[in-house]
Amino acid sequence: MLGGITKNTSRSMHKPRLLWAGLLLEKKLFWCTMIVRMDISYIRVAAGTKNTLKLGAISNAFYKAGLFIEMEGHDVPSDVPKQPFTRSEVREGARARAMRAMEANTGAQLGIGIETGIICDGHGPRLPGLTSDGDAHFEIACCIIVDRNLRLVGEGWSAAIETPKKVIALMMNENLKSYMAVARLTGKSDADTIHYYTGGRTDRETVLSDAVFLALARVYLNPEAYQ
């Protein structure tokens, strides 16, 4: 499988691949490492963010898919509130980021947007901004991919994880975003919400990368399934 090679603002060099090969010599198996230089075809990607965590998530997803990319991040607006509170706002934020990134980078083949938000289940106290009541709230992310004609070519969603009530309380009482509330609780300015909720067993970059990977299914992973 090919690995993902990315760039932020400068062109990546064609790097050698490390391949493991088994050699059968005189009925004995020897393993060795070979350096193979390849003429690699890159996909030019415009990301609707300069956030290093999101850029890492995109890079990891393409690597998992066996695709090489050249990526440039763009600081673009999402056209939704800074803390989206509905599934539709999360999706629209990802879509706006993807389209604006593509508009900012005319040489790109794909525009990618990622947006995270809080949604509720509809059965209890509500968080300001929600259109329905909900006792439980969940953090979820969406990835939208568009082509150079701004057509939707991929959409993926992360798994949803319940947001603790004490985080919701801080968000309600002090008008904080979820990561700010977690930073207040943990005393860490760079607090990772998913890392905190799962006791360090996974993190936000991994969850976002899964959403990007799933968004690649229609065009890159198994297009035959969508015909």
Residue 126 lies in a domain: yes
Residue 19 bridge partners (DSSP): 34
In this structure, which amino acid lies at residue 93? Answer: G
The CATH number for 174's domain is 3.90.950.10
**Residue 127 CA to its chain's centroid (Å):** 25
Residue with tokens 């297009």: 223
Residue 18 inside a domain? The answer is: no
DSSP assignments along 123-189, one per residue: SS---TT-SS--SSEEEEEEEEEEETT--EEEEEEPPPEEEPHHHHHHHHHH---HHHHHHHHHT-T
Q: Tell whether the model's pLDDT for residue 7 goes beyond 50.
A: no
pLDDT at 36: 45
Rounded Cα–Cα distance for residues 59 and 13 (Å) = 16
With 90 as the cut, is the pLDDT of residue 185 above it?
yes
Q: What's the whole-number mean pLDDT along residues 186-197?
A: 91
CB-CB contact of 193 with 178 (8 Å): yes
DSSP 216: T
Domain-embedded: residue 34: no
Query: What's the structural domain count of the chain?
Result: 1
Q: For residue 136, what pLDDT is reported?
A: 87
Report if residue 13 sits inside a domain.
no
For 104-150, write each residue's pLDDT tens digit.
Answer: 998 999 999 999 999 986 544 455 544 444 478 999 999 999 999 99
The span from the CA of 131 to the CA of 129, in Å, is 6
The yes-or-no verdict on residue 8 having pLDDT over 70 is no
Model pLDDT for residues 71-104, shown as the tens digit of each residue: 999 999 999 998 898 999 999 999 999 999 999 9
**Taking every pair of C-alpha atoms in the chain, what is the biggest distance, in angstroms?**
74
Tell me if 45 is assigned to some domain: no
pLDDT beyond 90 at 199: yes
Segment 40-70, tens digit of pLDDT:
689 999 999 999 999 999 999 999 999 999 9
Residue 97 lies in a domain: yes
- pTM above threshold 0.95: no
Domain that holds residue 116: 76-226
CA-closest candidate to residue 61, choices 207, 213, 216, 222? 213
